[in-house]
């Protein structure tokens, strides 16, 4: 019989240092775990510290029924975290569950979790950890004496092993990979001897020997795993010597492997597990050659080992070996009692194994794990959906509040600006306009008193009229909340032309390049009146059927082109009155613009007006 040492061994390779002080007493450990979970729920312990804390005591929890529940939190943290720290723990998570199921004799579940471990390791391109998972699976199959499946598993990874054993001669492969391969070769050497397949046993032993020789050529590179690799080799050599009944060689190798394990540089945490397997093989060897003293000596060593994993199998082996020793001394009563105890333990192990096989627990575990993942994903999705919904509502409320505050602020600023405008308009209307009007009256009075007309008085009166009109326009601009634009002017002119067309039946063409510019009240009123004058002038003086108007915005200028299909202005039109051109010229001058008349009588005419825009 062989223990589940290899599965435990693989775990220890990947684990952080254990805190055995916390694990020695069950009650204190339970209290400590409860406190850890409480502090984590209260967010007093962060994710990484929680993971490290579980790693530090998990080795004492493999015999606890609630370990899978405890690992649920572990799972949710490592599979949601990012970075190498969490990625490595994803592999270790499956490893923990595999060891737990081994300890509960659930081989199907154990193999499932170790296969998940290998799958996760391959996904992360961590080939040494994938090899450690295969080593654990072969060990489980060997422990249940399912040698054919051991062989099948070995064949599936043999190409990888062969590739690595060829590369190790250069000392370049990963030390953990070398240790995993040596452990597998040791197991397969034992397996082939159990199957009585001597050629295959010799082949795997030769590979193991060559691996060990190559590793020892690079002691610095493989220093951390050198003693474990040597131990794997010695165990394979001991099995070979025992099978070949070479007692002297077997005794020599046994002393060498025990010395290797007990050496100071051998990892303290691993010593009980390696000694467990060596003592077991030694007991079987000495019982086979009827060396009862040596068998009893190593059986006592075996019984004194403190292990938390594989307890049932270890106890069964101890009682079975004691029965053989007592029977050899003719103490059949005591031998029978030990044999009965061993049988009961083995029956419970066998029953668990049969149940495991009969119910196809591997498939069940895969289904349960898938459902667990789906439930976990659904729960996470629901929580995420709730968070997203809350975030959307919060964001919506914030945006709404921000919009309201912005609108309120703009209204306050607008009202403040309008109040300032109205105040200014009142000041202009109430203070400046009366003064200008008074000045106009004084000029008028002076003209009446003057016997001869004065050009200067006429100019002053004209300038005052223009100033009064400008001030009136500014006052209107300040009072109005309406913004005047070239687009509004276009629509008003078009409306005028539409009405003219309905009354007279005469059509028009009106083109505008649709560039919007802001106009003040003064500009807007004069431009509108200019077009009105042009249309009225056409109606009064032309025989027409079509008006053509163009309004164009160019940089810093408004251009109006106006013509109709009449003959134009007759010669000497400058001396005639009533055509309205003087009014148009005055308005253009007030806008600081320019008016051009292109008269081609009797072929028609075109008026071009250019108004500067600022």
What are the domain boundaries of the chain? 1-108, 145-266, 378-479, 484-612
Percent of the chain with pLDDT over 90: 18
Task: Say if residue 132's pLDDT is above 70.
Answer: yes
- Do the Cβ atoms of 352 and 43 come closer than 8 Å? no
Instruction: Estimate to the nearest angstrom the gap between the alpha carbon of 482 and the chain centroid.
Output: 52
Average pLDDT rounded to a whole number, residues 83-95: 92
In this predicted structure, what is the pLDDT of residue 19? 37
Higher pLDDT, 302 or 539: 302
Residue 596 backbone zone (phi > 0: left; psi -120 to 50: alpha; other: beta): beta
Q: How far is CA 68 from CA 22, 78, 369, 510, 561, in A?
A: 20, 15, 12, 85, 90
Tell me the pLDDT band of 118, cut-offs 50, 70 and 90.
very high
Q: Show contacts of 423-430: CB within 8 Å, 24+ apart.
A: 424/478, 425/474, 425/475, 425/476, 425/478, 425/479, 428/471, 428/474, 428/475, 428/478, 429/475
Task: Say if residue 376's pLDDT is above 80.
Answer: no
Task: Please choose, from the candidates 299, 293, 308, the residue with its C-alpha nearest in 3D space to the C-alpha of residue 280.
Answer: 299
Burial class (CB in 10 A: 0-12, 13-18, 19+), 105: buried
Task: Say if residue 220's pLDDT is above 50.
Answer: yes
- The mean-pLDDT minimum among 126-140, 249-263, 458-472 falls in 458-472
In this predicted structure, what is the pLDDT of residue 485? 87
Rg (CA), the chain: 52
Alpha-carbon gap, residue 151 to 11, rounded angstroms: 23
Tell me the pLDDT band of 130, cut-offs 50, 70 and 90.
very high
Within 10 angstroms of residue 43's Cβ, the number of other Cβ atoms is: 7
Tell me the pLDDT band of 265, cut-offs 50, 70 and 90.
confident
Tell me the pLDDT band of 443, cut-offs 50, 70 and 90.
low
For 58, which DSSP code? G
Alpha-carbon gap, residue 240 to 538, rounded angstroms: 126
In this predicted structure, what is the pLDDT of residue 90? 92
Task: Say if residue 482's pLDDT is above 80.
Answer: no
Q: Show contacts of 388-397: CB within 8 Å, 24+ apart.
A: none
In this predicted structure, what is the pLDDT of residue 18? 37
For 17, which DSSP code? P
Average pLDDT rounded to a whole number, residues 191-219: 90
Task: Say if residue 63's pLDDT is above 80.
Answer: no
Q: How far is CA 60 from CA 23, 63, 64, 316, 425, in A?
A: 6, 7, 8, 21, 90
Omega within 30 of 0 (cis) for the link into 602: yes
pLDDT, tens digit, 9 for 90 and up, residues 273-283: 888 888 888 88
pLDDT, the chain, mean: 80
In this predicted structure, what is the pLDDT of residue 308? 61
- The mean-pLDDT minimum among 162-166, 172-176, 217-221, 537-541 falls in 537-541
In this predicted structure, what is the pLDDT of residue 206? 92
Average pLDDT rounded to a whole number, residues 498-506: 82
Burial class (CB in 10 A: 0-12, 13-18, 19+), 524: buried
- Do the Cβ atoms of 130 and 184 come closer than 8 Å? no
Q: Which CATH architecture has domain 484-612?
A: 2-Layer Sandwich (3.30)
The residues with which 559 forms a beta bridge, in sequence order, are 552, 610
In this predicted structure, what is the pLDDT of residue 330? 83
Task: Say if residue 362's pLDDT is above 70.
Answer: no
- Nearest 5°: the CA angle 448, 450, 455 is 100
For residue 332, give both structure tokens: 């059949």
Task: Say if residue 38's pLDDT is above 50.
Answer: yes
Average pLDDT rounded to a whole number, residues 487-492: 90
pLDDT, tens digit, 9 for 90 and up, residues 377-421: 666 667 777 788 888 888 888 888 888 888 888 877 776 766 666
């Amino acid at each position: 019989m062989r223990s589940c040492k290899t599965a435990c061994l693989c775990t220890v390779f990947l684990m952080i240092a254990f805190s055995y002080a916390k694990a020695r007493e069950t009650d204190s450990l339970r209290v400590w775990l409860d406190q850890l979970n409480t502090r984590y729920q209260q967010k007093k312990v962060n994710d990484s510290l929680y993971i490290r804390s579980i790693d530090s005591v998990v080795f004492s929890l493999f015999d606890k029924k609630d370990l899978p529940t405890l690992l649920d939190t572990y799972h949710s943290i490592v599979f949601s975290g990012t970075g190498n720290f969490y990625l490595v723990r994803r592999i270790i998570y499956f490893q923990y569950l595999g060891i737990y199921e081994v300890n509960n004799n659930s081989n199907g579940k154990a193999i499932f979790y170790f296969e998940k471990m290998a799958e996760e390791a391959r996904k992360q391109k961590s080939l040494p950890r994938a090899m450690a998972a295969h080593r654990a699976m072969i060990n489980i199959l060997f422990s249940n004496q399912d040698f054919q499946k051991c062989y099948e598993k070995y064949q599936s990874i043999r190409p990888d092993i062969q590739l690595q054993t060829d590369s190790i001669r250069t000392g370049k492969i990963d030390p953990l990979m070398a240790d995993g391969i040596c452990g597998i070769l040791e197991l397969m050497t034992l397996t082939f001897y159990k199957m009585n397949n001597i050629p295959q046993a010799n082949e795997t032993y030769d590979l193991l020997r060559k691996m060990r020789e190559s590793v020892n050529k690079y002691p610095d590179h493989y220093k951390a795993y050198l003693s474990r690799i040597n131990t794997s080799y010695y165990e394979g050599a001991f099995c070979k010597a025992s099978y070949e009944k070479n007692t002297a060689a077997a005794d020599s190798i046994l002393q060498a492997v025990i010395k290797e394990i007990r050496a100071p540089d051998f990892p303290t945490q691993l010593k009980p597990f390696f000694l467990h397997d060596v003592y077991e093989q030694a007991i079987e060897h000495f019982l086979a050659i009827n060396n009862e003293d040596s068998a009893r000596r190593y059986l006592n060593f075996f019984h004194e080992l403190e292990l938390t994993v594989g307890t049932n199998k270890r106890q069964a082996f101890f009682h079975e070996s004691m029965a053989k020793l007592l029977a050899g001394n003719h103490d059949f009563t005591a031998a029978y009692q030990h044999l009965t105890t061993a049988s009961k333990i083995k029956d419970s192990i066998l029953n668990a194994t049969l149940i495991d096989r009969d119910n196809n627990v591997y498939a069940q575990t895969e289904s349960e794990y898938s459902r667990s993942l789906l439930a976990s994903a659904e729960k996470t999705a629901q929580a995420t959906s709730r968070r997203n919904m809350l975030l959307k509502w919060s964001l919506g409320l914030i945006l709404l509040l921000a919009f309201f505050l912005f609108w309120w602020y703009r209204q306050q600023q607008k009202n403040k600006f309008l109040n300032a405008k109205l105040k200014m308009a009142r000041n202009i209307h109430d203070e400046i306009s009366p003064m200008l009007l008074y000045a106009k009256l004084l000029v008028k009075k002076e003209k009446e008193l003057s016997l001869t007309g004065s050009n200067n008085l006429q100019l002053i009166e004209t300038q005052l009229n223009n100033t009064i009109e400008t001030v009136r326009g500014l006052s209107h601009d300040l009072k109005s909340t309406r913004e005047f634009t070239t687009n509004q002017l276009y629509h008003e002119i078009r409306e005028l032309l539409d009405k003219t067309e309905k009354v007279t039946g005469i059509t028009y063409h009106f083109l505008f390049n649709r560039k919007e510019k802001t106009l003040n009240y003064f500009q807007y009123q004069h431009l509108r009146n200019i077009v009105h004058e042009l249309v009225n002038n056409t109606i009064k003086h032309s025989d027409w059927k079509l008006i053509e108007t163009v309004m164009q915005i160019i940089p810093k200028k408004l251009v109006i082109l106006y013509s109709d299909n009449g003959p134009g202005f007759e010669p000497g039109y400058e001396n005639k009155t009533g055509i309205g051109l003087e009014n148009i010229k005055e308005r253009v001058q007030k806008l600081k613009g320019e008016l051009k008349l292109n008269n081609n009588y009797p072929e028609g005419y075109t008026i071009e007006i250019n108004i500067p825009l600022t």
